[in-house]
Structure 1
Amino acid sequence: MTVNKLRLTILIYANGYDKKCPNSSQWNFTSKSYGCVDQKIYICLLDGLETNDTKTVYTGRCGPADISKEGSKYILKPDLDQVPCAASQYQPFPFTTDGNSQCIFGKSLCKSSGQILAKNENSSTDASCRCDYRHNYDYVIPPKDPCLCKPAEEDCSCYIRKCENDKIMIADYRCMKRVDTILPEDIKCPIISRIIPPEEADTVYRKRFQPVSGSVTWSTQASVFLIVIVTIYTVTVFSLVLRK
């Protein structure tokens, strides 16, 4: 068997069973193995026609090199098709098929102690984290924006900071008395609401914290109860006066 026939057999075997793309360090070698004229015209991308819920298939071939906009990548369908990055990845600069098969960075998961997801807007930026004030977690090192922290740029570690007995921690990490009435405009950070994490979505949905509606106060129920008592007392006194 000649060297060329042996090489062809190996490539057919690899293409039939190995559904992954080569490492960037092996890209040039693989390009030569495929007989491409130049490294820049060897591409290996997700095969949009062969991939389904049960399998993920990448196809390598000689083809045109191309560049997509930030937040996106190319797949084969069978021609180049520009699509958003996977939910767990992001691409802050243009994607190139020269040496890449998927978006370059992985999204931060915000799963360290006390962390929760704060913002996960699009496929061109990383997710942002924040400390869970509901369980008395605060930042070890305050970030530039007190309402969220960027893991790629800042230390987003959290620790438990206890408030005094008669106080609770609110959304902007201040400790407030339970009986104090807190107006929405007085809270500098959004109240925590459900944000879809990267690993639960096929695309990165544009989810923000829901706006605060109404007054946020621990004394609301007590105030309502007091109003009811005063009303009953007033009606009772008025009835007694009428009887006299």
Structure 2
Amino acid sequence: MRARNQDGAKQDLLKNLNENQALITCDCAMKFLPRKFREGQSDWFGKRGINWHISVTLYKHGEELKTITHVHIFSSQISQDGSVTASVLCDVVNDLTKQVPNIQEVNFFSDNAGCYKNTMMMVALKDELGDKLKTYNFSEAQDGKGPCDRRASHIKACVRRYINEGHDVTSAEEMKQAIDVKQKGSFRVRVVDIVTNLDAEKSQIKPITGITQLHNFSFDVNGITVWKAYGIGEGKRISWDNIGTTEQRTNLLVKVDWTITAPQLLEVEVIVKIIVMTAGYNLKCPARAEWKLRGNISCSAEDKYVCLFNLLDQKYMENCLGSDRSSIGSKLVFQPLFNLAECNSGRYQPIVFTTHGNSECIYSQSKCTEEGQVVFSNGSARTDNTCRCDYTKGYAFVTRPKNSCFCNPSYEDCSCFRDTCTKLSADYQCITDGEIMVNSTCQEIPPHM
């Protein structure tokens, strides 16, 4: 109940968001452990993780909600305190106002980590951002998952793919390069370090009493209004005079600046631009994982989007005709409207074909090329090839299939092993010296195979 009530703060902000306001959700991601493409066992021990911070901004452009993701990667070990976190959030706001100049007010939302919920953080943000800072809301405990965690999973997947391609990611600079190569500017990534101002005056801040129990902060010129729970009561008023001010003790030293490419303010816009840029090339239908996104962009609805081969133009084409179905063992093509067609060589369709998420017959024919395997019989447009073990070379099935002569790789384990017997029959029985096998139930393999 408390979590749902507290989430109402975010929902109300989004409902009343205008073009001059932004909602920034922030989170310190789990440290990224450096990895090499090839690393010995000794390289695994004693690793020090790379600190990084994610901020996802929601703002309104016309009637649409758009997002910008800022990623700060630290080139050295840091202490995640209020001063460092305030420097990062102020840097996000400064870059945000350059990308979207009409934003005049910012609202923050985060979990209850100590680097966010502390008096120094609140004072430092107010001193740096001034009238731009309007509210800071915290999620209920154990309910802090949000867009930052989703972005973090995407980024880590991109870095893993970059490493699997033969690269090392052992530093903040290499991590930024991995993200930039794979995301191509979708995220605003910056490598920074922390510089401590040793000449800063000693902080005169008076801690806000019971701040760990507070979840909602509203800022104005004269002070802060705080609530323990969103929308409950009038809140407690705290004057700035009762809190004090502080000089920012840490600043960010930029090691590698934001990606030079033009800013991509909305991930969907990036995909639209890619589609427009590739219009002059042969279209490739999207994978199933990308089908929903392409459908929503091209047709405003996933179930209307269709991508099929056009027999007249001899290339793939997409439109918004809506989904259709064909019979088992066939697929649909454009000619110029829907028409039945045979599956391409090497593919088969054992179930009814639907254009929702598919442009080809869904399965590839098994090749029976693993160790010891040969083709027993070729399949059809409805069925897969069947395989058998090459008994002439001493191979037999690891697991006896349903039919003792052959195996269907679509639903059986067709692995073969080399039997210790020097000679096997077509039924995979061991033939001893001088013994003659008669009445074999399995067909013999022709000599040319």
Q: Same fold (TM over 0.5)?
A: yes
Gaps of 5+ in 1: 1-5, 52-56, 196-244
* Structure 1 residue aligned with 2:399: 141
Please list the CA deviations of residues 108-137 of structure 1 after superposition, one character each: whole Å capped at 9, or x if unmatched: 211111001112221222221110011111
Deviates more, 1:116-125 or 1:13-22: 13-22
Match of 1:45 in 2: 308
Counterpart in the other structure of 1:78: 336
What secondary structure, in the 3-state scheme, does the structure 1 residue paired with 2:421 have? coil
Matched, 1:173 2:428: yes
Q: What is the match of residue 242 of structure 1?
A: none
Between 1:105-114 and 1:80-89, the stretch displaced more is: 80-89
2:296 is matched with 32
State how far apart, in whole Å, the 2-side matches of 1:175 and 1:16 are.
Answer: 62
Match for residue 363 of structure 2? 105
Q: Distance in 2 between matches of 1:138 and 1:161?
A: 6
State the SS of the aligned residue for 1:20. Answer: coil
1:169 counterpart SS class: coil
User: Map of 1:110-125 to 2, 5 A cutoff?
Assistant: 110-125=368-383
- Residue 13 of structure 1 pairs with residue 277 of structure 2: yes
**Does the CA contact (< 8 Å) of 2:365 and 2:379 recur in 1?**
no
Compared CA separation, residues 169 and 43, structure 1 to 2 (3 A)? same
Where 2:431 maps in the other structure, the secondary structure is strand
Taking CA–CA contacts closer than 8 Å with sequence separation of 6 or more, which of the two structures ends up with the larger relative contact order? 1
SS of 2:410's partner is coil
- Matched residues in 1 for 2:271 and 2:372: separation? 53
Instruction: Give 4+ residue runs of structure 1 displaced > 6 Å after superposition.
Output: 6-9
Q: In structure 1, what is the Cα distance between the partners aligned to 2:284 and 2:379?
A: 29
Query: What SS is found at the alignment partner of 1:96?
Result: coil
TM-score, normalization: structure 2? 0.36
Please list, as runs of the form range in 1=range in 2, the aligned pairs for 1:147-186 lying within 5 A after superposition. 147-163=405-421, 168-176=423-431, 182-183=437-438, 186=439
Q: Identity, % of aligned pairs?
A: 35
How far off is 1:60 after superposition? 0.9
- Separation in 1, partners of 2:273, 2:447: 52
Q: Which whole-Å deviations, capped at 9, do the CAs of 1:159-202 have from their partners, x for residues lacking one?
A: 112435xxx3221112335755555xx1111122499xxxxxxx
2:272, 2:293 → 1: CA distance? 15
Q: What's the TM-score once normalised by structure 1's chain length?
A: 0.64
Give 1:70's aligned amino acid.
I
What's the Cα RMSD here?
2.9
Give distance in 1, aligned partners of 2:364 and 2:288. 17
User: What secondary structure does 1:95 align onto?
Assistant: coil
Alignment-derived partner of residue 188 in structure 1: 441
Q: Which has the larger radius of gyration?
A: 2
- Structure 1 residue 7 displacement after superposition: 9.3
SS at match of 1:25: helix
Specify the SS of the correspondent of 2:332. Answer: strand
Letter in 2 for 1:46: F
Give the count of matched residue pairs: 180
